[in-house]
Structure 1
Amino acid sequence: MSVKVEKISEPLLLGEGPHWDGRDLYFVGIQEKTIHRYRPDTGEHSKSVVGDKVGFIVPVEGTHDQFVLGLGRKFVVVHWDGTEGAPVAVLRELGEVDKEIPTNRINDGKADPRGRLFAGTMGREDPAGQFDRNKGSLYRLDGAKITKLVEGVSISNGLAWDVSQKAFYYIDSLERNIRRYDYDIDTGDISNMRHIFDFSSNGVEGLPDGMTIDTDGNLWVAVFGGSCVLHVDPKQGKLLRKLSIPAEQVTSVTFGGPNLDSLMVTTASIPIASEQKPPSGCTFVVTGAGARGLPNVNFKL
């Protein structure tokens, strides 16, 4: 089966955080302060504006209209019925992080296999492409209890878990490397960090961004500035292939569709070194990649 790339949204400045809930794809427009829903069986795409830059959207387990968001430096639970322009009402604030660095914001976030939320922060970006380094942290939310797991992070990004390998994979984008931690599924604790895939030594241009994992335990890594998604064997630290995406700034990826064999890919169109013309910034569905993913997990409040 040949690889096919299909555009499913109009451009955003910074599309991010794709989450497939079994029926719908959710993602965010960070700069536009928007949350999005795409329903593939009808082609319907709806969005609503929220009150701050939004780093991720994850459904709350057991609900159909509640979501946990990273808004600015706060973790909040909101109500949204998923329709175009519908109000987004904050139901509960779970906590605020990095209070000592008010220029930080929450970036990528995802629920682990037990429904705990892992999400991190990043430093101020001003001008575009220039970041305050080592100002962010990675956090875990067990319900409303917040635990700092890692500090000194520049851009907290990709997250993936392999329960069979007791592994947690994590990306701080400016390292241009992928980290592996030992992962305790019962506690959510991580330890024993080591790097397992270096962009420079593998000749990869750009920065690692969001990522996901397939049923073979291999990683799929969005490359910001590289126009591709990498397929990586993390156990051997080996690049298996590059999957081309028709946008330079590829931001994140997840598996979706009825059989979890479609790649849902978000991108950006930030004019850093040059203007990024459409379809840059669009969200894409990639079929024929020859892999299947694991279900995204909802947040257990």
Structure 2
Amino acid sequence: MTAEVAIPARARVGEGPVWDAGARRLHWVDIPAGHIHTSDPVTGRTTSRSLPTQVGAAVPRRGGGFAAATAEGFASVDTDGTATVRLALLPEGERMNDAKCDPGGRLWAGSTALDFARGRGALHVLLPNWTSRVVLDGLALPNGLGWSPDGRTFYLADSVAGEVCAFDTDPGDPVPGVLGRRRTVFRLPGSAGMPDGLTVDAAGCLWIAVWGGDRVVRVSPDGELLAEVPLPVHQPSSCAFGGPGLDVLYVTSAREGLALPQDDPAGSVFAVGGTGAVGLPSTPFAG
């Protein structure tokens, strides 16, 4: 397995990749720049929308445009790029971070303090009627959300804590966002980097970008390290499967905080083929 630049870019903090099967495009963001990018991996061409705020993640909406997790809370982004804050719920000094839709079309997002202070992070779920509630609090830097293929296990990385946790969940529960038994499935010592964004493949294994660790790892649902994919950048930030067969792993990366030459590929999106894995289709936001 080797990683090659698929989308050349100089993102400060590239994040939140999501494959749009209908458009055959990869959507991703640059958090501090407030950019939502839409890229064609075949040509490398990217079109961008600029928001007047930080954007942790953006996912397609069922009716077009995007639902975005922003510095304020949650915003809608029209097809012409107009952004409207629909739910302002975070105090100054905090922002939304990674976000992803569950199979029911609800948007889950982690919030964090700007200094990543322990205990100030939380996990929110946004319902299709644009109301939200806190599902879990007491976190630091919630990241890397995902669900098992049967929807009965929810995964969440807390990067500062250096761990990825699993929670029992019932996809048919009438109260959305209820989490059950919690356990740690993967842990990294600080010297090895931090678990950042992640995706779950069709076999139920986790692919986790290791920020500060120059690699993506594949981990079984029981926490066994199955494979490591080296990256030519120090700060891989997240990953998602895409392509017509959902068999290409796209990995975002970041330049923020690094002294790099102009031609360093950090901030680009990389493609990893030959993994032998297939991803799960993404779900648009139902609101």
The CA deviation string for residues 3-59 of structure 1, in whole angstroms up to 9 with x for no partner, is: 342341211110000010111100011111111010234432111211101110100
Specify the alignment match of 1:37 in structure 2: 38
Specify the alignment match of 2:207 in structure 1: 220
Q: Displacement, 1:165? A: 6.5
Q: How does 1:64-143 map to 2 (within 5 A)?
A: 66-81=65-80, 88-90=81-83, 92-99=84-91, 102-125=92-115, 131-143=116-128
Q: Is the 8 A contact 1:108 1:120 kept in 2?
A: yes
> 1:204 & 1:222 partners in 2: Cα distance?
15
Letter in 1 for 2:285: F
> 1:80 & 1:228 partners in 2: Cα distance?
34
> 1:50 & 1:120 partners in 2: Cα distance?
19
What SS is found at the alignment partner of 2:233? coil
> 2:44 & 2:114 partners in 1: Cα distance?
36
Identical positions, percent: 35
Gaps of at least 5 residues in structure 1 are 82-87, 126-130
Equivalenced residue count is 279
Q: Indicate which of 130, 138, 142 corresponds to 1:152.
A: 138
Gaps of at least 5 residues in structure 2 are none
What SS is found at the alignment partner of 1:174? coil
Specify the alignment match of 1:57 in structure 2: 58
Q: How does 1:1-301 map to 2 (within 5 A)?
A: 3-22=2-21, 23-63=24-64, 66-81=65-80, 88-90=81-83, 92-99=84-91, 102-125=92-115, 131-143=116-128, 144-164=130-150, 166-187=152-173, 188=176, 189-200=178-189, 205-235=192-222, 237-271=223-257, 274-277=258-261, 278-301=264-287
> 2:55 & 2:245 partners in 1: Cα distance?
29
Q: Displacement, 1:105? A: 0.3
Q: Displacement, 1:194? A: 1.2
Q: Displacement, 1:163? A: 4.2
Letter in 1 for 2:203: D
Q: Displacement, 1:95? A: 1.3
CA RMSD of aligned residues (A): 1.7
Q: Is the 8 A contact 1:17 1:210 kept in 2?
A: yes
> 1:43 & 1:250 partners in 2: Cα distance?
19
Q: Displacement, 1:164? A: 2.4
What SS is found at the alignment partner of 1:148? strand
Q: Is the 8 A contact 1:11 1:283 kept in 2?
A: no
Q: Is the 8 A contact 1:105 1:121 kept in 2?
A: yes
Letter in 2 for 1:95: L
What SS is found at the alignment partner of 1:191? coil
> 2:240 & 2:3 partners in 1: Cα distance?
16
> 1:105 & 1:183 partners in 2: Cα distance?
26
Letter in 2 for 1:198: R
Q: Is the 8 A contact 1:9 1:45 kept in 2?
A: no
Q: Is the 8 A contact 2:149 2:204 kept in 1?
A: no
Q: Is the 8 A contact 2:149 2:280 kept in 1?
A: no
> 1:253 & 1:132 partners in 2: Cα distance?
25
> 1:31 & 1:139 partners in 2: Cα distance?
20
